[in-house]
Amino acid sequence: MAATSDRLLNLSSRGQLPSSQVLIAGFVVSGTSSKTLLLRAVGPGLANFGVSSYMANPELQLISSSGALMSQNSGWGGSSSLSAVFAQVGAFALLPTSKDAAMVATLAPGSYTVHVFDPTATGGVVLAEIYDASSNPLTDSQRLVNLSTRGMVSQGQGALIGGFVIGGATNKSVLIRGVGPGLAAFNVTDSIPDPVLRVYDANDNLVAQNTAWAIQSVAGPYQTSTSAWARSTSSPDGGTYQSSLLNGGAGSPAPLKRFASGAFLQA
């Protein structure tokens, strides 16, 4: 893969978890050598953004493609070395005494998952984050190429929200999917039957949306019409994708259901 400067620098996913449910974020590191990443699970730190129902004590686990536990953290401890990495990658600061979780990992090319959950089984809103913490992320041949998140989804605040940042000076095409019924092939029986996928830019403008991958309607300046999944040519800036339920009943919360949502980089 050519070492072009337009690439994914940050991937994140926010979900609302009941009790001991797990938010699972998968990512892929490409290339031929190891890459350094910052991984975080933010609960209490969301209070500064007006989130009151945050997860008070999130635990973060890094899992290999074989299912082995590689590392875990349930309180970042306020270390100066981690704070320096936060500043390096542009991550918002965390209080030194907070119960938010964070770790730095240097990983060989391959696929990995991050598991985030509440060990006290209280639940709440939590943000899983993956940052490229390399010294030269825009020129490294190894890169982040994929983010996929599986979590619980309900109406309103229960939407599953993924964020990503594209670095560089040119546009980058990304394939973005919201998968519900397709999870049946993986023995998931409580998936969302009719998910809605929306893509927003850094200014919260709707730039793409889709409710059925076989029927594409261009909703914004970046979306391209295609006979496959929703695909958008995102500007080199931040963006979010949001997955929610279609035609939910007003007045009563929809039951929580499993769901998978992902942003995939197209080289």
**pLDDT at residue 266 above 70?**
no
Asked if the structure places residue 3 within a domain, the reply is no
Residue 222 scores a pLDDT above 80:
no
- Helix residue spans in the chain (DSSP H): 80-89
SS3 156: helix
Tell me what the mean pLDDT of segment 181-195 comes to: 81
Tens digit of each residue's pLDDT (9 = 90 or more) over 9-65: 788 888 888 888 899 888 888 888 899 999 999 999 999 999 989 999 999 999 999
Mean pLDDT is highest, among 114-123, 128-137, 165-174, for 114-123
- For residue 182, the model assigns a pLDDT of 81
Q: What is the mean pLDDT of residues 172-184?
A: 79
Q: Which of 158, 155, 186 is nearest to 253 (CA)?
A: 155
The per-residue pLDDT for 1 is 42
Kindly state whether residue 194 falls inside one of the protein's structural domains.
Answer: yes
Once rounded to an integer, what is the mean pLDDT over residues 101-115? 95
Least confident piece of the model among 52-61, 67-76, 183-192: 183-192
| Residue 259 falls inside a structural domain | yes
122 falls within a domain: yes
Q: Report the share of the chain in percent with pLDDT over 90.
A: 36
**187: Cβ contacts below 8 Å, ≥ 6 apart:** none
Q: In this structure, what token pair is assigned to residue 169?
A: 């000076």
- In this structure, of 127-136, 164-173, 193-202, the range with the lowest mean pLDDT score is 164-173
For residue 236, the model assigns a pLDDT of: 45
Radius of gyration of the chain (CA): 18
In terms of domains, do 161 and 144 share one?
no
pLDDT at 127: 93
Cβ within 8 Å of residue 98, ≥6 positions away: 44, 45, 75, 76, 78
Residue of 6 and 94 predicted with greater confidence: 94
Do the beta carbons of residue 116 and residue 41 sit within 8 Å?
yes
Same domain, 222 and 257: yes
**Domain CATH code at residue 231:** 2.60.120
Top-confidence residue, 254 or 135 = 135
**Same domain as 168, residue 231:** yes
pLDDT of res. 220 = 63
199, exposed or middle or buried, with CB in 10 Å at 0-12, 13-18, 19+?
buried
- Does residue 257 have a pLDDT over 60? no
CATH number, domain at 97?
Answer: 2.60.120.380
Residue that finishes a domain, picked among 151, 171, 201 = 151
- pLDDT higher at 149 or 83: 83
Q: Do 174 and 138 fall into the same domain? A: no
Cα–Cα separations (whole angstroms), residue 219 to 48, 205, 230, 235, 243: 32, 11, 11, 15, 16
pLDDT of residue 211: 76
Taking residues 251-265, what's their average pLDDT?
A: 48
Handedness of CA 93, 98, 101, 104 (dihedral sign): positive
Choose between 72 and 31: higher pLDDT: 72
Rounded CA-CA distance 167/182 in Å is: 31
Cβ-proximal residues to 131 (8 Å cutoff; 6+ apart), any chain: 9, 10, 37, 38, 39, 40, 89, 90, 91
Residue range(s) defining the domain that contains residue 199: 154-267
In-domain check, residue 246: yes
> What tens digit of pLDDT does each residue of 120-144 get?
999 999 999 999 898 887 777 777 7
